[in-house]
Structures are given as structure tokens and as C-alpha cells.
Amino acid sequence: MTVSSTDRLDVAEVLHAYAWAIDTQDYDALATGVFTADVVADYGLPEPLRSADVVVAFMRAAHEHLTATQHLIGNCTVQVSGDAATSRSYAYATLIRRGAPGGDRLAFAAHYADELVRTGAGWRIRSRVARMFFRDGNRAVLNV
């Protein structure tokens, strides 16, 4: 199978769809348009999140109380081999919660290492390892 630049762009679009789904709180799009049902996502927690439903519940709990968020995905590298792909990308997120004691803003930078598969509905992330580079601002923004 020939790897096309379209495959690489389609994989990058999934990474961007992840950011848009979180920032618009479109958790259905996150569940069905970004991840496989059996995704394993390691966000540096004590245990990986296992399944799209668990990832979506985690993201909902982390973001739904915030006033606004912006997740930027960049510096994407994509390698495609048939119906499998790997990608590496940077993420920078700004989280805002108006009225949070100690300040309204928390920002962080991270690195994503993803494995994706081509499905009948397009590319989906089946494995993610996320590692934080740094955090800046008020951690209390995350408290409910």
C-alpha cells in the first residue's frame, strides 16, 4: 500500500479533532471521532485509562467546570504503514476558570506519542502516551 500525504493529513486531523472536541466540550465527537473504543491512554496517572468511555469521562470531569480552554496541537510528525500509524506532537493548553482562588489561568505543555489505526470511519487513536513538560499558573483552576 502506498502511503499518501492524505494519510498523514488525515492522522493530523484526528489530533486536531481531539483539541476541538475538548475545547467545545463535544464529548460525543471525542468518543467516536478520535479514539477507538478500546483505546489505552496514559496521561501520567497511576493507571492508564482503558476505553474511550473512560477517557471521555476523565476529560469531561477535568474540563466541564472550566470557563474556557484552548488546546493547541503542533509539530506533528506522522509515520504511516498500511492501516497503522504513529504520531508525535506537542500540545499547549490554557485552562481558564473565572474566580478561581489564586488566579484564573493554568497553562501546560505536553508531548503526545500516539498509535492510530485506520477504521471504516477513518483514523482513530488506539494508544496515547502523554507526558507533561511544564505547568504554569494556578493549579487550583482544576479544583471543582
Quote the CA–CA distance of 119 and 1 in Å, as a whole number: 16
pLDDT tens for 33-90 read: 999 999 999 999 999 999 999 999 999 999 999 999 999 999 999 999 999 999 999 9
Boundaries of every domain in the chain:
5-142
Topology of the domain comprising 5-142: Nuclear Transport Factor 2; Chain: A, (3.10.450)
pLDDT tens for 81-134 read: 999 999 999 999 999 999 999 999 999 999 999 999 999 999 999 999 999 999
